[in-house]
Structure 1
Amino acid sequence: MELRTRPATVKLPEKMFTGDAWADVIHRGEEPSRTRANAVHFAPGARTAWHSYGIGQTLYIVEGIALIQSRGGKILEAHPGQVIWTPPGEEHWHGAAPDHFMTHIALWEGDDVDWLDHVTDAEYAGPRTREL
């Protein structure tokens, strides 16, 4: 067993995020492990750019209201305790609702992430649903 020192919180880059977002690394596996886990904190209106993972991504909503959309799909409104799975290669974005902070735990494997274009304000403001 090992008690690990927690790295400092990092501000996430404008190249991959719109608005203010920060990450706390929970776990970054060392070979042969490829597991990753971050707590990601979004200010109201903040969001990722479109992106996809080679092995997929799981989000666990901790607090606030999350907005998540797959390219061409509806915007899903998710709440604390809900889990969202995005399969390998599916382009998507996620972030906070415009009037709430949001924190999620992001789980994925490896560094195979393809970052794409930013989510436009029109895409972000699209209609929401609570179930797909």
Structure 2
Amino acid sequence: MALHILKSDDGETIERTELSIFEGGQVWGRSLSGAASEEVTMSVVNFGPGARAGWHRHTADQLLYVVSGIGKVGDREGEHVVSAGDCAVVPAGEDHWHGAHDTGSPMAHLTVMKAGSETTVLDS
């Protein structure tokens, strides 16, 4: 596979609010890796104020790097406020949620995972 450059005007930002994993407001996503990598996926996810991904888990580690705004990341032990420049590392199989939630701010993060990782949406 050859070097692939995704320019800022490549790809499409798609509203994802209707997906069952999201709740509380509008969510948009854009793949930054597309089909260019067979090993890793990376996307930017934009959460409107109040929006978040509900409880879920993945079959691979997930890296969440906050690029703008204020958000929260929660696990079964509690929740943590995150802001631009913060990075959360969520181990495979860990129940968690993340997004703008109740901060009053929109939030955007990069999400990086191993390609082929599966997501299970949980009730709570």
* TM bin (shorter chain): 0.7 to 0.9
User: Which segments of 5 or more consecutive residues in structure 2 lack a partner in the other structure?
Assistant: none
Deviates more, 1:106-115 or 1:83-92: 106-115
1:92-131 matches, cutoff 5 A: 92-98=96-102, 99-117=104-122
1:58 to 45, 63, 84: 63
| Superposed CA RMSD | 1.9
- The alignment of Structure 1 onto Structure 2 pairs a total of residues equal to 117
Percent identity of paired positions between Structure 1 and Structure 2: 25
Local SS of the residue matching 1:27: coil
Supply the AA of the counterpart residue of 1:20.
Answer: Q
2:21 to 5, 11, 16: 16
1:20-35 matches, cutoff 5 A: 20-30=26-36, 33-35=38-40
- Please give the TM-score of this superposition, normalised by the length of structure 2: 0.83
1:42 paired residue number = 47
CA distance in 1, matches of 2:85, 2:4: 28
2:94 paired residue number = 90
Local SS of the residue matching 1:112: coil
CA distance in 1, matches of 2:6, 2:36: 13
- Please give the TM-score of this superposition, normalised by the length of structure 1: 0.79
Inter-CA distance 20–118: structure 2 relative to 1 (3 Å threshold)? farther
Please list every run of at least 4 consecutive aligned residues from structure 1 whose deviation after the TM superposition is greater than 6 angstroms. none
User: Which segments of 5 or more consecutive residues in structure 1 lack a partner in the other structure?
Assistant: 120-132
CA distance in 1, matches of 2:4, 2:42: 17
Contact conserved, 2:6 with 2:32, CA < 8 A, in 1?
Answer: no
Supply the AA of the counterpart residue of 2:100.
Answer: A
TM-superposed deviation, 1:118: 5.2
